[in-house]
Amino acid sequence: MIQLRPYQTEAVAAVYDHLRGRDDHPCVVIPTAGGKTPVMATICRDAVQQWNGRVLILAHVKELLEQATEKLHAMAPDLWNKIEVYSAGLKSRDTEHPIIVAGIQSVFRRAAELDRFDLILIDEAHMLPPDGEGMYRTFLAEARAVNPNVRLVGLTATPYRMTTGMICGPENLLNHVCYEVGVRELIVQGYLCGLKTKAGRRKADTSGLHIRGGEFIAGEVEALMDDDALVRSACGEIVEHTRDRHSVLIFAAGVQHAMHVQRTLGEFGHECGFVCGDTLPFERADTLKRFKDGGMKYLVNVNVLTTGFDAPNIDCVALLRPTNSPGLYYQMVGRGFRLDPSKENCLVLDFGGNILRHGPVDALEIKDRPNGNGDAPAKECPQCQAVIHAAYSICPECGYAFPPPRREQHDHEASTASVLSGEVTETEYEVEGVYYSVHVKRDAPEDHPRTMRVDYRVGFNNYRSEWVCFEHTGYARAKAETWWRARSREPFPESSEQAVEICEAGGVAETRSITVRSVTGEKYDRITHHELGPIPPRQDGSDERDDGNLPEYQGPEDDDLPF
């Protein structure tokens, strides 16, 4: 008898409630490694043994068919003689058993041959094609001709397609998420492995990539990634941060890039396996076996180990490619979710800016994106804050000359943006330049107090900002007073314009470094500490600090902060 976890029991009950109370088709969302197969096995057993029905389980690749069949046999041994496979690739075309596991490519025009089904379960339902297209819809139309009452149930970890768009909708094959449990909830309950990210953050430059069908164009991505200096830098960091790790799964941008990574790790003295779609079946099986058994520490792959690959020993996932697909990002990170006695957590090394692009895996930002390349890339002038087209080398508003572009195919260092929401990271940056300007809050009335905006350049086209509220009252004003006293002997500015003038004239101490506090899931970072140089002398020649125009601080008040 299958022993279901509490949330799995709830999922099965939710499916039955939906099928009883509604006429459309439900979807169950359980995170990768959270155990969808016990839910499927329970539904199959109930349908066959209690209701004398027939069940078809559909999947899109041969590996998932084999995996589903093996797991169903292991979890429900009393059903072993009731389960068979229909797949041309597996050379099995059974049509008689009450539970059939089938590849959609083999059956999408053979619904009548397979005869009547009462339930159709779609494993990895995020692989469903866009509305109105694909073999699934063709098969379902024929299956309804055999049994007009057949019902469809989807199971997935990600209820959105690999490119874009939710898989459930009124006109879609699946219509409603009847049950969902989250990643963080299962980690807290001890059912999934915890994740951590490496310290040190830099954003990948993907502004030159174009989008087709919701994803970056593969050829462009690989052309950017396959750079010797960048591959060597990333591989060196992977080796450095995985000295105490046992099984490292690497996602590359293409075959040549993956082979480059494999060679480079070999030069560092580490064997690295390699699999792609063209790898011969026996070679793939041997490589994956050695990796799963612990005989090989590093394994690089291209688009083949995202969905359904089960290797609980993976304790590091390295993303050496950017993706515009939230589903693909989740599936890659999800390879490290499984629990295993050999690991305490799974390290995620993100060299493609994916965490910053999509958000934490337990709080993904999903947007329906139209086909095409989307909005033209833009950038902000650090001197006047004008938002202009990325192609400008000189700001048309103020004349600021941008540094010459330096294309970074992927990050030299892995991002530290936390892969789970709510995690706090503090990162120290060396300040390479400081820019001061007067800032007016967006949509504020003309008489609204202005602020001084301070932009710290901490890397190529990488800035961190803060706002100093000289013209405000209450707590915001008190913070501005503290900020000014720590840096200057000049009188406290009467306006933001005066503050900018004094700062640009050298009247404040140099900022050498800043510490930035980031909370995953929150929109804005905060600067929590500054390392300052010596306070410069007064510009009028006096060495005394002038605090004469500072009013006595009366305590915090409710104040409309500009950020």
User: Which tens digits make up the pLDDT trace of 147-182?
Assistant: 999 999 999 988 876 555 788 888 888 999 999 998
pLDDT band of residue 208 (cuts 50, 70, 90) is: confident
Task: Give pLDDT, residue 385.
Answer: 47
Task: Please report the pLDDT score of residue 291 as a whole number.
Answer: 96
Structure-model confidence comparison of residues 333 and 135, the more confident one? 333
* 453-476 pLDDT tens trace: 999 988 766 788 899 999 988 888
Give me the chain's average pLDDT, please: 81
Q: Which of 189-198, 247-256, 425-434, 478-487 has the highest mean pLDDT?
A: 247-256
Digit-coded pLDDT (tens) for 87-126: 766 566 667 788 888 888 888 788 888 888 999 999 888 8
pLDDT band for position 300 (cuts 50, 70, 90): very high
Residue 475 near residue 556, CB atoms below 8 Å: yes
**Span 248-297, pLDDT tens digits:** 999 999 999 999 999 999 999 999 999 998 999 899 999 999 999 999 99
Dist CA 276 CA 239 (whole Å): 22
pLDDT for the residue numbered 134: 74
Report all structural domains of the chain as residue ranges with CATH numbers, in order of start. 6-181 (3.40.50.300), 194-358 (3.40.50.300), 423-563 (no CATH)
CA separation (Å) from 186 to 138, 337, 338?
A: 36, 10, 11
Residue 218, sorted as left (phi over 0), alpha (psi -120 to 50) or beta, turns out to be: alpha
What pLDDT was estimated at residue 339? Answer: 94
Give the E-state strand segments of 440-546 in sequence order.
451-459, 462-468, 511-519, 526-532
Q: How confident is the model at residue 448 (pLDDT cuts 50, 70, 90)?
A: confident
Residue 178 or 444, more confident:
178
SS (H, E, C) 335-395: HHCCCCCCCCEEEEEECCCHHHHHCCCCCCCCCCCCCCCCCCCEEECCCCCCEEECCCCEC
Residues in the chain: 563
What pLDDT shows up at residue 386?
45
Q: Is 521 a residue whose pLDDT tops 70?
A: no
Greatest extent of the chain over all pairs of C-alpha atoms, in Å = 98
Dist. CA 474–CA 451, nearest whole Å? 14
pLDDT in tens, 324-382: 888 889 889 999 999 999 999 999 998 888 887 887 777 665 654 443 344 434 455 56
Other beta carbons within 10 angstroms of residue 481's beta carbon come to: 17
